[in-house]
């Protein structure tokens, strides 16, 4: 693990940018300590930050849609097969 060269908060997540061999990687931690990381290394901090923020936004959006789908299934507005198919499509 590398020492972060940049740290801030975004949508409740702590984001860190780490310098690795003249390139940058973004790592984000949710309040529950879920960890998301950019798989690529980026040539500058801004690209790493932007990519990490996009990953966090996608994770939050998928989580909200997943909760909505569960509510729809539990209130019998969608069938189990629909719920399962839609929920699995979020993981892709």
Q: What is the pLDDT of residues 67-84, one digit of tens each?
A: 999 999 999 999 999 999
Q: Would you state the pLDDT for residue 64?
A: 96
Structure tokens at 49: 């930050």
Q: Are 66 and 42 in contact (CB under 8 A)?
A: no
| Prediction pTM value | 0.85
Q: If 0-12 CB within 10 Å is exposed, 13-18 middle and 19+ buried, where does residue 17 land? A: buried
Domain boundaries, the chain: 4-91
Percent of the chain with pLDDT over 70: 98
Torsion sign (Cα): 88, 73, 82, 62: negative
């Amino acid at each position: 693990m590398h020492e972060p060269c940049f740290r801030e908060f975004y949508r409740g997540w702590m984001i860190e940018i780490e310098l690795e061999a003249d390139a940058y990687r973004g790592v984000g931690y949710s309040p529950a300590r879920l960890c998301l990381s950019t798989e690529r290394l980026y040539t500058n901090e801004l690209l790493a930050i932007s990519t990490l923020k996009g990953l966090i936004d996608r994770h939050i959006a998928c989580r909200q849609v997943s909760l909505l789908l569960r509510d729809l299934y539990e209130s019998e507005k969608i069938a189990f097969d629909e719920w399962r198919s839609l929920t699995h499509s979020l993981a892709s």
